[in-house]
Amino acid sequence: MERYLKLKLPGGKFVNVSVSRSRTMSAIRGKNTRSTERTLRMALTRAGIKGWRLHANEIIGNPDIYFPKCRLAVFVDGCFWHGCTLCGHIPRTRGLFWAAKIRRNRQRDRRTSQKLQCGGTKVLRIWEHSLRSKRERDAVIRSVKNAQANTCQKRLAKRRNTADGRHDSYGSMTRSCMPARAPMQARVRNPARK
């Protein structure tokens, strides 16, 4: 647990936690969750969408599903853990800890999305509640297909423009995404050092 979050708990740890609650919380996994990841994977497979990888750990943020050809990262965010405004909530027990935890998760999500977008990867975030009904899953699949098609078309156009010499070295990055450059300083040689 992070030091910052430990400060939100009395004594820096969970106390007076029932055995059943402890067992429930320790059973929650970050990967291959039935309500989110598996549901999306089955929907992608049924829709005939191919070319994706699970948990591409060479990509910032380890997206749940990654399309390397189109550079499309798909994250499936749990409503509780990522603070969904529709159905997420903060528990009454140890509310300060959970509010801080969820706030940190949301900040990390924003940072990760920004880094990926600055690197030229399209990011698609899907809420857990949008995978519950078939109608909502179909809408998610349509948005994945649209993002995949738009991203692939842009990459092809960029490749063509680069080959024609009409593209700058940063591609389509905005100013805020460009790497910061240190100001040039003249090197002064210290006469005492050799």
Task: Say if CB 99 and CB 9 are below 8 A apart.
Answer: no
How far is the C-alpha of 83 from the C-alpha of 99, rounded, in Å? 9
Task: Say if CB 158 and CB 172 are below 8 A apart.
Answer: yes
Q: What pLDDT does residue 8 have? A: 61
Amino acid identity for residue 84 in this structure: C
Report the pLDDT averaged over residues 102-110.
Answer: 92
Residue for token pair 């600055």: 118
What percent of the chain lies above the pLDDT cut of 90? Answer: 36
- 90-126 core/surface letters (b: 16 or more CB in 10 A; e: else): beeebeebbebbbeebeeebeebbeebeeebbbbbeb
Q: What pLDDT does residue 174 have? A: 46
Q: What pLDDT does residue 24 have? A: 61
**Structure confidence at residue 72 as a pLDDT band (50, 70, 90):** very high
Report the pLDDT averaged over residues 172-179.
Answer: 48
How far is the C-alpha of 153 from the C-alpha of 148, rounded, in Å? 9
Residue for token pair 């749990």: 78
Task: Say if CB 64 and CB 35 are below 8 A apart.
Answer: no
Judged against a pLDDT cut of 90, whether residue 112 lies above it is answered with yes
How far is the C-alpha of 5 from the C-alpha of 101, rounded, in Å? 7
**Structure confidence at residue 89 as a pLDDT band (50, 70, 90):** confident
Q: Can you list the domains of the chain with their CATH numbers?
A: 30-161 (3.40.960.10)
Judged against a pLDDT cut of 90, whether residue 6 lies above it is answered with no
pLDDT tens-digit readout, 43-62: 999 999 999 998 888 899 99
Q: What pLDDT does residue 33 have? A: 67
